Amino acid sequence: MTSFSATFSNVLLTLLYLLPGFLLCKFRKVRAEHLSSISVILLYVCGPGLFLNALTALDYSPELLKRMGLFLVFSLLSETALMLLLLLLMGKKRKEFGMRMLSIATVMGNVGFFGMPVVRAVFPAAPEAAVYSSVFNTSLNILAWTVGVYTLTGEKRYISLRAAFLNPTILAVAAGLVLYLLQSKNWLPALVQDGFRTIGAMSTPLCMVILGIRLATMDFRKLFTTPLVWLISAGKLLVFPLFCYLLVLPFPFDPVFKGCILILAGTPCASILLNLAEIHHKGQELAANCALLTTLLSIFTIPLLSLLL
């Protein structure tokens, strides 16, 4: 029950960060038009700080490096496998935009800004939990700009290897990995490490404030009464995490490895879905509804998943 209470309290705290954005928007102190500028700060400043802090705070270990590689393989494999399985089960219906959105929204989660503080709370004595979140985010970005964007649009010309590997998340994780290999924890100035920690700590509250502003602009009737949004939510919050957990269960991985892949797979829909929808001018409302509903429902589903640990 310790993991349940730690998970519940941390998810609840994370969701409370929605309130400032929601109230500021309702009282017309901020407008939804401001979101693009705030999102840039989150993506290009706070996010990299979050991942750099996670990697530079660790002592170098060849065994941990090996586990990081395995985590990347298993997260990428599980995302791709379930996406392809869903598309296969859909048959001819996969030509419908809503079904294609279901296949990618089910496997792409907010494993960084939302997931990292949760796994840190569940495994307070395991600093590698934060690194697993960074690794999962890496696989998510690679998948999103390749298989994900092709699935969403149905056109190969939108696949971008450049975007898959040259984006703030991947570059920050790569830089953090180099610093980790150079054992920067032992020589990096404390002021710099504190800077990474402070900027990274802003990520989750800022991400939730952005969602709160978007929530204030939503039509609640559509948010709670669209069957496809509920179907995607069930897939993202329950089917995918259980699929990932069953995939790693037979292997002799430690409890932190298995627990992190379960909890991170059960995080709400990723904001990158909305970004892709905006770029290709398709399904923006559906993507936003999925992100918001899964975020609200996660207060119940993630603590329940933690009971498996």
**Distance from C-alpha of 112 to C-alpha of 108, rounded to nearest angstrom:** 11
pLDDT-derived band at 48, boundaries 50, 70, 90: very high
pLDDT over threshold 90, residue 223: no
Query: Which residues 6+ apart lie within 8 Å of 265 measured at CB?
Result: 75, 78, 109, 111, 240, 241, 243, 244, 245
Phi, psi of 182, rounded to the nearest 5 degrees: -85, 5
| 64: amino acid identity, one letter | L
169, 137 Cβ separation under 8 angstroms: yes
75-79, 142-146, 220-224, range with greatest mean pLDDT: 75-79
Give the DSSP H or E segment for 262.
helix 255-265
pLDDT in the model for residue 117: 93
Q: Which residue has the higher pLDDT, 304 or 218?
A: 304
Average pLDDT over residues 147-163: 81
- The β-bridge partners of 269 are 109
pLDDT over threshold 60, residue 259: yes
Ordered domains of the chain (ranges, CATH) = 2-306 (1.20.1530.20)
**Distance from C-alpha of 188 to C-alpha of 153, rounded to nearest angstrom:** 44
The 10s digit of each residue's pLDDT in 227-240 is: 999 999 999 999 99
**Distance from C-alpha of 251 to C-alpha of 200, rounded to nearest angstrom:** 32
Q: What's the chain's average pLDDT?
A: 91
**Distance from C-alpha of 277 to C-alpha of 78, rounded to nearest angstrom:** 23
Taking alpha carbons only, the member of 2, 35, 14 closest to residue 112 is 14
pLDDT-derived band at 252, boundaries 50, 70, 90: very high
Query: Which residues 6+ apart lie within 8 Å of 129 measured at CB?
Result: 119, 120, 122, 123, 256, 260
For 56, the 3-state DSSP assignment is helix
Query: Which residues 6+ apart lie within 8 Å of 60 measured at CB?
Result: 180, 181, 183, 185
Residue carrying the six token digits 């060849």: 62
**Distance from C-alpha of 80 to C-alpha of 209, rounded to nearest angstrom:** 30
Structure tokens at 197: 């920690």
% of the chain exceeding 70 in pLDDT: 98
pLDDT in the model for residue 279: 67
pTM of the model: 0.93
Minimum mean pLDDT among 27-36, 67-76, 110-119, 199-208: which range? 27-36
pLDDT in the model for residue 32: 82
Q: HSE, CB side, 13 Å, CA atoms: give it for residue 89.
A: 9
Q: Which residue has the higher pLDDT, 281 or 273?
A: 273
Return the DSSP state at 186.
G
22, 213 Cβ separation under 8 angstroms: yes
pLDDT in the model for residue 40: 86
**Distance from C-alpha of 31 to C-alpha of 238, rounded to nearest angstrom:** 33
Minimum mean pLDDT among 105-114, 151-160, 169-178: which range? 151-160
Q: Can you count the helices (H) and strands (E) in the chain?
A: 19, 0
Average pLDDT over residues 269-296: 82
pLDDT over threshold 70, residue 280: no
pLDDT in the model for residue 2: 61
Average pLDDT over residues 162-172: 89
pLDDT-derived band at 278, boundaries 50, 70, 90: low
pLDDT-derived band at 287, boundaries 50, 70, 90: confident
CA distances from 155 to 26, 148, 236 (A): 39, 11, 24
